[in-house]
Amino acid sequence: MKYIFDIVGVSPVLDFFSHQQQNLQKPQYRGVEYLGNHKCTLDAFIKSVEPLPKKWNWDMDEVVGTVIDFWINNSESICYWKSRLIDAGSDNLLVARVADIKALRAELEVLLGDK
Protein backbone atom coordinates (compact mmCIF):
# COMPACT_ATOMS: atom_id res chain seq x y z
CA MET A 1 0.00 0.00 0.00
CA LYS A 2 1.27 3.50 -0.77
CA TYR A 3 0.69 6.48 1.47
CA ILE A 4 0.86 10.23 1.10
CA PHE A 5 1.50 12.92 3.69
CA ASP A 6 1.17 16.65 3.17
CA ILE A 7 0.55 19.83 5.13
CA VAL A 8 -2.77 21.39 4.17
CA GLY A 9 -2.93 24.55 6.27
CA VAL A 10 -3.40 26.29 9.60
CA SER A 11 -6.72 26.14 11.44
CA PRO A 12 -8.15 27.46 14.69
CA VAL A 13 -8.26 24.65 17.26
CA LEU A 14 -12.06 24.81 17.62
CA ASP A 15 -12.64 24.65 13.86
CA PHE A 16 -10.36 21.63 13.55
CA PHE A 17 -12.07 19.93 16.49
CA SER A 18 -15.49 20.62 14.97
CA HIS A 19 -14.36 19.19 11.61
CA GLN A 20 -13.07 16.04 13.29
CA GLN A 21 -16.36 15.62 15.19
CA GLN A 22 -18.36 15.99 11.96
CA ASN A 23 -16.21 13.31 10.37
CA LEU A 24 -17.10 10.92 13.19
CA GLN A 25 -20.82 11.43 12.51
CA LYS A 26 -20.78 10.94 8.74
CA PRO A 27 -19.37 8.21 6.58
CA GLN A 28 -15.67 8.85 6.16
CA TYR A 29 -13.40 7.77 3.39
CA ARG A 30 -11.48 4.85 4.76
CA GLY A 31 -7.85 5.66 4.89
CA VAL A 32 -7.82 9.48 4.90
CA GLU A 33 -6.93 11.21 8.17
CA TYR A 34 -6.38 14.84 9.11
CA LEU A 35 -3.94 15.59 11.92
CA GLY A 36 -3.52 18.77 13.93
CA ASN A 37 -0.42 19.84 15.83
CA HIS A 38 0.62 22.91 17.79
CA LYS A 39 4.21 22.37 16.64
CA CYS A 40 5.67 22.07 13.19
CA THR A 41 8.18 19.31 13.91
CA LEU A 42 8.86 15.90 12.47
CA ASP A 43 8.59 14.33 15.93
CA ALA A 44 5.16 15.86 16.54
CA PHE A 45 3.75 14.46 13.31
CA ILE A 46 5.33 11.04 13.76
CA LYS A 47 3.72 10.88 17.19
CA SER A 48 0.34 11.91 15.74
CA VAL A 49 0.38 9.16 13.08
CA GLU A 50 1.21 6.38 15.55
CA PRO A 51 -2.45 5.37 16.25
CA LEU A 52 -3.45 5.36 12.57
CA PRO A 53 -1.96 2.03 11.42
CA LYS A 54 -4.02 0.19 14.04
CA LYS A 55 -7.18 2.01 12.96
CA TRP A 56 -6.75 1.37 9.23
CA ASN A 57 -4.55 -1.73 9.29
CA TRP A 58 -1.72 0.27 7.72
CA ASP A 59 1.97 -0.62 7.75
CA MET A 60 3.43 1.56 10.54
CA ASP A 61 6.93 1.61 9.06
CA GLU A 62 5.63 2.76 5.67
CA VAL A 63 3.44 5.48 7.18
CA VAL A 64 6.31 6.85 9.29
CA GLY A 65 8.63 6.54 6.28
CA THR A 66 6.19 8.62 4.22
CA VAL A 67 6.17 11.37 6.86
CA ILE A 68 9.99 11.34 7.05
CA ASP A 69 10.29 11.44 3.23
CA PHE A 70 7.99 14.47 3.15
CA TRP A 71 10.10 16.18 5.81
CA ILE A 72 13.36 15.49 3.94
CA ASN A 73 12.09 16.58 0.52
CA ASN A 74 9.95 19.64 1.35
CA SER A 75 12.01 21.94 3.55
CA GLU A 76 10.75 25.14 1.88
CA SER A 77 7.12 24.13 2.37
CA ILE A 78 7.77 23.16 5.99
CA CYS A 79 9.46 26.52 6.70
CA TYR A 80 6.53 28.32 5.07
CA TRP A 81 3.92 26.49 7.17
CA LYS A 82 5.97 26.84 10.34
CA SER A 83 5.97 30.62 9.80
CA ARG A 84 2.22 30.67 9.12
CA LEU A 85 1.59 28.70 12.32
CA ILE A 86 3.69 31.14 14.35
CA ASP A 87 1.91 34.11 12.72
CA ALA A 88 -1.50 32.58 13.51
CA GLY A 89 -0.83 32.32 17.25
CA SER A 90 -1.25 29.70 19.92
CA ASP A 91 -4.97 29.09 19.36
CA ASN A 92 -4.21 27.45 16.01
CA LEU A 93 -3.00 24.12 14.71
CA LEU A 94 -0.96 23.07 11.74
CA VAL A 95 -3.14 20.61 9.81
CA ALA A 96 -1.71 17.75 7.80
CA ARG A 97 -3.23 14.87 5.90
CA VAL A 98 -2.03 11.30 5.75
CA ALA A 99 -3.80 8.86 3.48
CA ASP A 100 -3.75 5.69 1.54
CA ILE A 101 -3.32 7.04 -2.01
CA LYS A 102 -6.33 5.09 -3.36
CA ALA A 103 -8.59 6.44 -0.59
CA LEU A 104 -7.41 9.99 -1.18
CA ARG A 105 -8.06 9.65 -4.91
CA ALA A 106 -11.62 8.46 -4.19
CA GLU A 107 -12.23 11.38 -1.80
CA LEU A 108 -10.95 13.92 -4.31
CA GLU A 109 -13.02 12.42 -7.14
CA VAL A 110 -16.19 12.78 -5.07
CA LEU A 111 -15.28 16.36 -4.11
CA LEU A 112 -14.65 17.23 -7.74
CA GLY A 113 -17.85 15.53 -8.86
CA ASP A 114 -16.18 12.90 -11.02
CA LYS A 115 -18.32 10.09 -9.58
How confident is the chain (115 residues) per 10-residue block, as mean pLDDT?
95 95 71 93 96 87 97 98 97 96 85 72
Its domain, for residue 39, covers 3-111
Give the global pTM: 0.88
Angle at 45 between CA 99 and CA 21, to 5 degrees: 65
SS3 112: coil
Total number of domains in the chain: 1
pLDDT confidence of residue 87: 98
Question: What is the rounded distance in angstroms from the CA atom of residue 101 to the CA atom of residue 36?
Answer: 20
Angle between the 60-73 and 42-49 helix axes, to the nearest 10 degrees?
A: 160
52: left (phi over 0), alpha (psi -120 to 50) or beta: alpha
CA nearest neighbour of 34 among 71, 72, 4, 64: 4
